[in-house]
Structure 1
Amino acid sequence: MPTDLAVQATQHLSHRVSRSPQDLMVHLHRIIASHYSRQIESLYGALLDLFIILDKKGFLLRQRLFNKFASSLSAHQSIALKQALMLGAGKLESLPHCDSSRFSNGMVGSACLVIKTDEPSQHQFSVLDEARDLIDSGLIDDARMILEQAIIQQPDDEHTSRELLELYRYTKDSSAFAAIYAQLNGLPLSLLDEWDALADILLEEKCAEA
């Protein structure tokens, strides 16, 4: 059983999270304090609140936290966080009830989560979130390589195709674009018209620079 001091500490951190929801360090301190004091409900609430605040951002951080602490949670809590990890908490219709959560108002309901059917698959979200994390960190080339690998494996995936096109439009890297464009030739590429149009634009810009 957690001591009164441990409960007071996690409650204090919960209040700090409410006041500063964008402060990731406070979220992490709350998660760790809940875990080491074995306050399972508080741990779930702390993880859930961070997942809600981040939504689809910070996938690698959310994944590490889930992998580290999921075994300490109940089955329903673990399933809920897994869905929030892959889809983003904002895409879930309902979540298992949690009194210790500060930000789940309006999202609490049945433990059976309803996923919107027009969203990408879990694998797609994993790839896209990882790429976006890298872009946010300034690692544009790394993000491009991840998306290129994904589109080669699934050329008909519209979400990956659109993300990669937007990246090429931003970087205007005609050499990288030409290389992947050649590899995708003849494959059932999603948004093919947009790829062809971008190929023409980048070619014109390269000719203008010559």
Structure 2
Amino acid sequence: MLEFVFDQFTAGFREWPDLSVDKRLERLAFRVSRAPKSLRAHLERIHYCFNNYMNEQLYAALIDLLIVLNKAGRELSWRMIFGSRSRLTESQFQTLRHFLKNEGAAIEALPCNRFSLFTKGLQSSSPLVQVVEEASEAEQDPLQLARDYIEFSQLDEAVRVLEQAILMRPEHAELHGELLSLYRSTRDRTGFKRVHGELNRLGASLPPEWAQLQDFLKV
């Protein structure tokens, strides 16, 4: 099922080989949200949904592709929609088909579901994803980026960002507090032990919360 995922390492599949189907899709969807113009990311997400019979998620992935393409790449759009037809309801298929056929159809009119990333349809009062193209992950404040991940329940991503940042800047006290909080809430003994060992090897001065959590996790 994963042959179509070109870069499984970037998607997090090799680092976390035991991820559930839903968690794997979450990573693919996140890649789309971080690189909206990457056709590869969109196609991987669509293919993964199709192969795993995740029909509502597939519809959302197709909607997101149409939104990003904004009437460009019509041939690709047609191929994706007709190729996915067996997993869509007739209403969903006709909605997508009508949108492509109707030159004047507004993107805002595309009906969304809760798995859509970029739709402007009103399902809640706050946006699920804010598309930011100019700043890479490395250029952002790791603490704020981790908190953004946490806000959308992407805890694995938050932990990854904090672990990388804390090994580079072990003197940053707030990073310790945020990471330890995640370790505690997820009972992540493996992550705790690995990073604790790395920090000790670096000769970093650790706040007392590390020892407290070590006792709590019984590491």
Instruction: Give me the TM-score of the superposition, normalised by structure 2.
Output: 0.44
